[in-house]
Amino acid sequence: MRKVFGLPVVVVGALFAAAPYFIAQAPYESTMGLIQKIMYFHVPSWIAMYAAILVCGVSSAIYLFQNKPAADRYAVSAAELTVLFGSMGLVTGPLWGRKAWGVWWEWDVRLTSALLLELIFVAYLLVRKYGGPGSEKLAAAAALFGMAVAPFVYKSVDIWRTVHPKTSVVPTLPKVMAGPLALTALAFLLLFFVLLTLRARLAERQAVLDELYLAHED
């Protein structure tokens, strides 16, 4: 376990430690100034959330159609991480918006759909916790629904009129801003990988414990 985690933990720690320096070196955006620097962890938290949704959805599909318990363990782990990274995006976004837009929250398409996407995966976890026997399959179906909704949330800014910037902004960033953003995105994706492996390990140990209880009762 230590071998698996050693290098990624060191790399994630180094990236997160170095990130503030590179973010501070990046130039100010013309209209927003300092507050725009929230982008360097707001955007990566959504990237990590989309990665978590993808893992959760694909693992849920494997569990539903091939009935592999290991896939279910990865699905529940990724669902927790979806909620974690989604909450980062939903908290850092309003902090940015308060200064840039003058409001904490706006009920427009992007913000509302992102909140609903987060709630789908909160519902997944609630079904898993309180749904009783067989709730794994029901939750897996909810995860597939969440995975299908995610692309609409991402593209919503291009389809509907919204206060949120469009998806075309990030590819047009100059190198001095794109560099730190790529670094923090990499840090968040590695953090996602480390947390996913750790959480899946917990799910595996819980499965072993459940089997021991069953054997003990017999």
Partner 1 sequence: MRLLTALCSFVLLAPRVFAVQQAPPGQSEYVPIKDLPPTDQMPAAPLLIAAYAFVWIAVMFYLWTIWRRLNRVEAEMGALARKTAGR
Binding positions for partner 1, rule: CB under 8 A? 20, 33-35, 37-38, 41-42, 45, 80, 84, 87-88, 91-92, 95-96, 98-102, 191, 195, 198-199, 201-202, 205-206, 208-209, 212-213, 216
Which residue spans within the chain are E strands per DSSP? none
Beta carbon nearer to partner 1, 6 or 20: 20
- By beta-carbon proximity to partner 1, the closer residue of 62 and 100 is 100
Question: Distance (Å, rounded) from C-alpha 50 to C-alpha 112?
Answer: 16
Q: Tell me the closest approach of the beta carbon of residue 208 to partner 1, in angstroms.
A: 7
User: Least distance to partner 1 from the beta carbon of 51, Å?
Assistant: 15
CB of 99 to partner 1, least distance (A): 5
Q: How far is the CB of 217 from partner 1 (least distance, A)?
A: 11
CB 80 within 8 A of CB 125: yes
What are the residues facing 33 on neighbouring strands?
29
Q: Rounded to an integer, what distance in angstroms lies between the CA atom of residue 12 and that of residue 14?
A: 5
Residue 29's beta-bridge partner residues? Answer: 33
SS3 162: coil
Q: What is the DSSP string of 73-124?
A: HHHHHHHHHHHHHHHHHHHHHHHHHHHHTSSS---SHHHHHHHHHHHHHHHH
**Cβ 84 to partner 1 shortest distance, Å:** 5
Cβ proximity to partner 1, 43 vs 71, nearer residue: 43
The candidate with the shortest Cα–Cα distance to 136, out of 54, 63, 51, is 63
Q: Report the chain's terminal Cα–Cα distance, integer Å.
A: 31
- Is 34 or 66 the residue whose CB approaches partner 1 more closely? 34
Nearer to partner 1, 65 or 213 (CB): 213
Task: Please identify, using beta-carbon distances, which residue of 53 and 84 lies nearer to partner 1.
Answer: 84
Tell me the closest approach of the beta carbon of residue 141 to partner 1, in angstroms.
Answer: 25
